[in-house]
Structure 1
Amino acid sequence: MSTPSNAGRQANRLAGETSPYLLQHAYNPVDWYPWSDEAFERANAEDKPVFLSVGYSACHWCHVMERESFESDEIAAILNERFISIKVDREERPDIDQIYMAAVQALTQRGGWPMSVFLTPRREPFFGGTYWPPDSRMGMRGFREILQLIDEAWRTRREDVSRSAASLTQAVDQMASAGFDETQLSVETLKNAVQSILSVFDVRYGGFGQAPKFPHPMDLRLLIRCGQRFASPAALDAARFTLDRMAAGGIYDHLGGGFHRYSTDARWLVPHFEKMLYDNALLVPAYLDLWLAERRPQDVTVVRETLDYILREMTAPEGAFYSTQDADSEGEEGKFFVWTINEVESLLGPDEAQVFAAAYDLTPGGNWEGHTILNRPRPIGDVAKATDLDISVLEKRLADDRRRLFETRSRRIAPGRDDKVLTSWNGLMISAMAQAGKLLAEPCYVNAAVRAAEFLVTTVRDADGRLLHTFKDGRARFAAYLDDYACLIDGLIDLHQATQDARWLEEAIRLAGIMLRDFPDDDEGGFYYTASHHERLITRVKDSQDNATPSGNGVAATALFRLAAVTGDTRFEEAAARTLQALSGLMSRHPRTAAQSLLALEFALGPQPIVVILPGDNSEEADRMQAAVAEAPHPSPMVLVVDETDRLQGPLKAALEGKQAIKRRTTSYLCERGTCFEPLMDAAALRVFVDARRHAGRTPNA
């Protein structure tokens, strides 16, 4: 985050906020308000338009606009005299961001951050855009000129402004509730979705479309799972190639682990250097899915390095996970992450630097603005041949080189970190940590997931037990949104699978009950983004399309289907099915915007194998059974390990009815949609049977 000089300035109203992004602007000369009734009441009383600025702490161009315009005394004077200015952190208030981003997209056919919107005192948008330079240049109007034009229109053409506000507000309302005619969902829906995704696959560099290129983790997981379901080499090849190119590209941090936000070019070389918790949380399961399908050790390496980065740099002392790391340090984007060949030679010596350069694309001229973004454009075998080294020797030397460079980099001035805790993103990372901990038999990841979940369910909630959206500086704030509930419920299910602690399943069920009560669209199906008791805005949005994060409705359907499979509670399955039916038109006509919902459909189509393990007198055999099932390729069973004395109590009563540990020996039951096969009492036999049922349990042509 940028650090403007605050000398001689008084703090504005943002100084009382918790958002690092808002606090960054607390000493701007602009008389900022946080989003509040007070701001709009003043706008109404003084008959002024509202200037709404929305951004987030890791946003490079948000920092640029702050330095150029919001730190300008001249521009601040115009804002303070003629407007009421409101600053919003989009990560704290995604509900506001969604609504007014729709307005900007309707006006300009594009969106982005910083988002700049002008509103009436009734909160209706009438003009907007994204980044504006302070002065007009290269055919782009400057912010100073825009302010003057808006002020003139407000004073002299009020009827035009009012018509524009009414028209744009109506357009936003229509966009918020836009749906598609429902259609029949089936295995053909998945096949069509795969073909749609593959139609934009970049066969040269991997990924989808051209620059800028985003990771699309939900699309990748759908390709992997449907590749297995349909025995489709094309789907698996596209996912594997993309994940490999990303892990080899500059979008991946080869020294510290973890992925940057996206690539500005088509070949994954030059990222925007911010790191987001959600990108890493969503990519870990994609690499795990690929590992389950193909057992390649390099996929495990990416998972471990990514999660180790999260534990090292993005985990709060209390256990929850921080939100983002900035792209900038010392006022320059990417400065922390890039190298020159002279720096590497001085650290490693000329001979070793030559070996490192051959592997990591290090050249005298660099590959970006005179510097080098580390990446691995050549396979390790080619580098071994070029350096005349054995692969195992080369890999050991490179690992030592990376360690030395990482230690040196650690002494640089690091990018800023947004250390607020967001419930939804934490739910995604709890899921990633729990899955990795279970599959890789790594207790530190499971323990991290437990600590984060413990913090959220005990601290980031209100007195009535409802979730809150964010936590910072000892304050939990803002009523939770749909994705807060959906992502945390899904993460708690994964945590239960990793620990077999019934507490997490019970908490998931409790939260699902609140979600079903507070968020449903009783008329059309699915869920609204905000709860029924939420602050009233100009419209109520339904979050149905995936963006950088999966849609709230898609995750809700996924979590509810999984919860129904484990508990046998039909109300969860009915709500999930109704949600998917409400999204069916979108899934069929625009599948590239609905991968999370399609993943929910893929699970719902089955089989939905559940393995129930009753330990009897031999807990070691129960552990072996869990391990045997854990590594099964998709569709891998969900597992319930329940002590005999507890088997008919709590939320698992329906799933455990009629099952027992035979003669006190550890006994397992494989069940699919309520039908159970003969019990097995040997881990090896259980794994053989699970593998045999992988395809037999699917419907014809599925």
Structure 2
Amino acid sequence: MSTISNRLSGETSPYLLQHASNPVNWFPWGDEAFAKAKEEDKLILVSIGYSSCHWCHVMEKEAFSDKEVAGFLNENYVCIKVDREERPDVDQIYMNAVQIITRSGGWPLNCFTLPDGRPVFGGTYFRTEHWMDIIRSLHSTWVTNRQRVMNVADDLTKGLSTVLITCEEGKSAVLSSEVIKQYVENWSKYFDARHGANKGAPKFPMPGSLMFLLDYAWLFNDDSVKGHVRNTLDKMMNGGIYDHLGGGFFRYSVDEHWHVPHFEKMLYDNVLMISLYSMAYKHFKDDNYRRVVYEVADFLKREMLAPNGGYYSAIDADSEGEEGRFYTFSKREVEDFLGDYAETFSIAFGVSATGNHLGQNVLRMAASEKETACLLGIEPTEVAERLKSAKKKMFDERARRIRPTTDDKQLASWNALAITAFSSAYIVFNDNRFLTDALCAIKFIEDKLMDDGGALYRVHCKGETKISAFLDDYAFLIEAYLALFRATHDEEYLLKAKKWMDFTINGFFDEKNGMFFYTSDSHNHLIVRKMEMTDGVIPSSNAVMADNLLFLSGYFREPKYADMAREMVLKISEQQVKGGPYLYRWAGAHLKCTIGPAELQAVGGKGKEMLREVVEKTSHPFLITYVSNNRSAVPICTTVASKEDGLKLCHANSCLKPTQKVDEVLNSLNSFTLKG
């Protein structure tokens, strides 16, 4: 029996390969598809998704495997499949188009376009019957009333151009801590005081927003905001969004309680959570936060680390044709697996006969060890021992199941986020395992995603490196080099950060708008060049670039960098006040512009040891640390404060006397707060 295959069979993306046996004659994004559409005068279907997307799987099994649907599409359309993680530039454009059309978006994303790529209609998931009606109706309109379709395309393209215009710098735009204070006050109206994060469902973790709020709480001495962050941290790590057996966070919670997740595990979520919980441990010294960091790192090493030292992208939500099947249990299964310990485990993790998800149980921390001990009339230490044994048994039993598939695509930007996370964990916990993980990941990027000509690529998969890098790849790589420098004070990383910054400015910066384009000129068939402005779970690449410019300005004494960053922040500042959780990284850059850097110099070997202790214990958000070296290629490092080993702290054009007392430096740094 022959197996149907289309042009996707030669691709490496797991998502594209999932559609390689469809009867639809899919093309990958590229010249061949657009040339065919123009030659045959056909509309294009651009269908976008990713490998761990549940509803993408559903539509693949339904509409795209239906022979009648495939026959009509093949005869009347040119069909292009896109992995949104490989081509976020394509996804952003057509997501904007569908949001204009329907006022909503999501995946799978299906957008119909003219032969030149301009959108005319779109939506997300469609049942097969509805889908068949749409493709017939749209084709009929294209044949009988083409001008109507062309007019829609013109209007939508104009709308896309409007969406992509950046905020003009207003006459009233200012850099002020008052702006940020008002921003947080407005945002706090939407805080969920009971369950953490923002009110409502679904609930996404948004680690970067919580890291900003910790910085804000530290600078403004705001215990209310700090309490909100801590409540959110606790709810997430105790909820069903966290995998209590294997470690790692799922993508989001479908309910406001964090009880039932959407079960895909993404690399970016988990490395950002390592950064968040490491930072939280520094603030709160809660051993549970330390535990989460180590468990997530163990999960990544066990399940997402490739032999080449880089990390895979995602683990699917589905297995055995069912979302969450791998991770959920019935009450009977728990009793069969655990025997005498089943009651203890069920109380602690909320296991019941009815379950909390389609008759099954998503594990969550329903009772603390102390509460469980009280209910059972035993000591908390006995509960801890029982749960430790029970969790291992449950993990081992779960491992016998059919595993969800892993998306083995390796992305520059997400691996760079991992480097930053591991570097941060190394600084906080002083554990070499994290530094080793960071160094292995940067070696992967340099070996597999850079070529001899100095180009950076986005994707490495199944031995193939492809797709020129986008702004987020460059932004997070520069950030990763800065993080490695803070962890090691090896100047090589600073020099590489500057090299890539200058490269990115030359290839992506738009002088007219004062922002960076998301794409370079080498990315083809795009109807607009987008500027990524708003923060999501992953922060916006422009905001990260502003942060990078501020740090590099301090290290290299380069006023141009600081001026660029300030202008970028000013352009967004009028939107900032009402931006809520979607402008948090811009708010962080705004704060840095307002307070200025604290520069901490170490002299000699003893000074370097003292520097490490200070960095481990302070939470100052704009600390520029360096080791003096009069032969350095980094300008800030060539100044020598003292002939004796020690530290020297400077801030706001004033410096403390060189000292050999760590406490003096910490007291000065930690006494810095903003009154509003």
Indicate the residue corresponding to 2:23 in structure 1. 29
Q: Distance in 1 between matches of 2:250 and 2:328?
A: 13
Counterpart of 1:190 (choices 166, 180, 190) is 180
Checking the alignment, whether the CA contact within 8 Å between 2:614 and 2:665 is kept in structure 1 is no
Indicate the residue corresponding to 2:626 in structure 1. 640
- Work out whether 1:650 is the aligned partner of 2:640: no
Indicate the residue corresponding to 2:57 in structure 1. 63
Q: Distance in 1 between matches of 2:200 and 2:230?
A: 18
Counterpart of 1:94 (choices 88, 106, 118) is 88
The residue type paired with residue 627 of structure 1 is E
Could you tell me how far 1:614 is from its partner in structure 2?
Answer: 2.2
Indicate the residue corresponding to 1:169 in structure 2. 157
Checking the alignment, whether the CA contact within 8 Å between 1:629 and 1:690 is kept in structure 2 is no
- Work out whether 1:535 is the aligned partner of 2:524: yes
Q: Could you say what secondary structure the match of 2:626 adopts?
A: strand
Could you tell me how far 1:36 is from its partner in structure 2?
Answer: 1.1
Indicate the residue corresponding to 2:233 in structure 1. 243
Q: Distance in 1 between matches of 2:31 and 2:416?
A: 31
The residue type paired with residue 391 of structure 2 is R
Indicate the residue corresponding to 1:51 in structure 2. 45
Indicate the residue corresponding to 1:667 in structure 2. 646
The residue type paired with residue 670 of structure 1 is L
Indicate the residue corresponding to 2:276 in structure 1. 286
Indicate the residue corresponding to 1:631 in structure 2. 617
The residue type paired with residue 658 of structure 1 is V
- Work out whether 1:686 is the aligned partner of 2:672: no
Summarize the alignment of residues 65-144 of structure 1 with structure 2, pairs less than 5 Å apart.
65-135=59-129, 142-144=130-132
Q: Distance in 2 between matches of 1:688 and 1:431?
A: 28
Q: Distance in 1 between matches of 2:546 and 2:400?
A: 45
Indicate the residue corresponding to 1:269 in structure 2. 259
Q: Could you say what secondary structure the match of 1:260 adopts?
A: coil
Indicate the residue corresponding to 2:243 in structure 1. 253
Counterpart of 1:231 (choices 221, 231, 245) is 221
Rate the CA distance shift 1:602–1:380 in 2: closer, same or farther, 3 A.
farther
Q: Could you say what secondary structure the match of 2:397 adopts?
A: helix
Q: Could you say what secondary structure the match of 1:612 adopts?
A: strand
Could you tell me how far 1:86 is from its partner in structure 2?
Answer: 0.3
Q: Could you say what secondary structure the match of 1:177 adopts?
A: coil
Indicate the residue corresponding to 2:207 in structure 1. 217
Cα deviation digits, residues 637-690 of structure 1 (max 9, x gap): 443235xxx443212x3343133442xxx3222222564321122xxx223322
Indicate the residue corresponding to 1:138 in structure 2. none
Q: Distance in 2 between matches of 1:456 and 1:85?
A: 33
Checking the alignment, whether the CA contact within 8 Å between 2:610 and 2:646 is kept in structure 1 is no
Checking the alignment, whether the CA contact within 8 Å between 1:99 and 1:176 is kept in structure 2 is no
Q: Distance in 1 between matches of 2:341 and 2:67?
A: 52
Q: Could you say what secondary structure the match of 1:148 adopts?
A: helix
Q: Distance in 2 between matches of 1:51 and 1:412?
A: 37
Q: Distance in 1 between matches of 2:643 and 2:342?
A: 61
Q: Distance in 2 between matches of 1:155 and 1:371?
A: 51
Q: Could you say what secondary structure the match of 2:174 adopts?
A: coil
Checking the alignment, whether the CA contact within 8 Å between 1:629 and 1:636 is kept in structure 2 is no
Indicate the residue corresponding to 1:9 in structure 2. 3
RMSD: 1.8
Indicate the residue corresponding to 2:138 in structure 1. 150
Checking the alignment, whether the CA contact within 8 Å between 2:186 and 2:578 is kept in structure 1 is no
- Work out whether 1:323 is the aligned partner of 2:313: yes
User: Please, which moves more after superposition, 189-198 or 562-571?
Assistant: 562-571
Rate the CA distance shift 1:636–1:396 in 2: closer, same or farther, 3 A.
farther
User: Please, which moves more after superposition, 305-314 or 283-292?
Assistant: 283-292
The residue type paired with residue 62 of structure 1 is C
The residue type paired with residue 165 of structure 1 is A
Could you tell me how far 1:414 is from its partner in structure 2?
Answer: 0.9
Under a length normalisation based on structure 1, what TM-score does the superposition of the two structures give? 0.93
Could you tell me how far 1:206 is from its partner in structure 2?
Answer: 1.4
Q: Distance in 1 between matches of 2:626 and 2:382?
A: 44
Alignment size in residue pairs: 674
Q: Distance in 2 between matches of 1:476 and 1:419?
A: 13
- Work out whether 1:312 is the aligned partner of 2:286: no
Q: Distance in 2 between matches of 1:276 and 1:603?
A: 30
Q: Distance in 2 between matches of 1:533 and 1:75?
A: 35
Q: Distance in 2 between matches of 1:579 and 1:527?
A: 9
Structure with higher RCO (Cα < 8 A, 6+ apart): 2
Checking the alignment, whether the CA contact within 8 Å between 1:626 and 1:639 is kept in structure 2 is no
Q: Could you say what secondary structure the match of 1:374 adopts?
A: coil
- Work out whether 1:701 is the aligned partner of 2:667: no
Q: Could you say what secondary structure the match of 1:171 adopts?
A: helix
Checking the alignment, whether the CA contact within 8 Å between 1:607 and 1:635 is kept in structure 2 is no
Q: Could you say what secondary structure the match of 1:214 adopts?
A: coil
Q: Distance in 2 between matches of 1:581 and 1:633?
A: 25
Cα deviation digits, residues 501-526 of structure 1 (max 9, x gap): 22222211111111111111101212
Could you tell me how far 1:163 is from its partner in structure 2?
Answer: 0.6
User: Please, which moves more after superposition, 85-94 or 478-487?
Assistant: 478-487
Indicate the residue corresponding to 1:391 in structure 2. 380
Summarize the alignment of residues 374-413 of structure 1 with structure 2, pairs less than 5 Å apart.
374-413=363-402
Counterpart of 2:335 (choices 317, 339, 345) is 345
Q: Distance in 2 between matches of 1:285 and 1:601?
A: 21
Could you tell me how far 1:628 is from its partner in structure 2?
Answer: 4.0
Q: Distance in 1 between matches of 2:580 and 2:198?
A: 13
Cα deviation digits, residues 436-489 of structure 1 (max 9, x gap): 022111111111111111121232124431311111122221111111111111
The residue type paired with residue 361 of structure 2 is T
Rate the CA distance shift 1:265–1:530 in 2: closer, same or farther, 3 A.
same
Q: Distance in 2 between matches of 1:615 and 1:400?
A: 49
Q: Distance in 1 between matches of 2:177 and 2:657?
A: 29
Checking the alignment, whether the CA contact within 8 Å between 1:196 and 1:592 is kept in structure 2 is no
Runs of at least 4 residues of structure 1 off by over 4 A? none
The residue type paired with residue 604 of structure 1 is C
Q: Could you say what secondary structure the match of 1:545 adopts?
A: coil
Could you tell me how far 1:692 is from its partner in structure 2?
Answer: 2.7
Checking the alignment, whether the CA contact within 8 Å between 1:359 and 1:380 is kept in structure 2 is yes
Percent of paired sites with the same residue = 36
Q: Distance in 2 between matches of 1:18 and 1:320?
A: 17
Q: Distance in 1 between matches of 2:516 and 2:401?
A: 46
Indicate the residue corresponding to 1:3 in structure 2. none
Checking the alignment, whether the CA contact within 8 Å between 1:104 and 1:128 is kept in structure 2 is yes
Checking the alignment, whether the CA contact within 8 Å between 2:241 and 2:252 is kept in structure 1 is yes
Rate the CA distance shift 1:691–1:390 in 2: closer, same or farther, 3 A.
farther
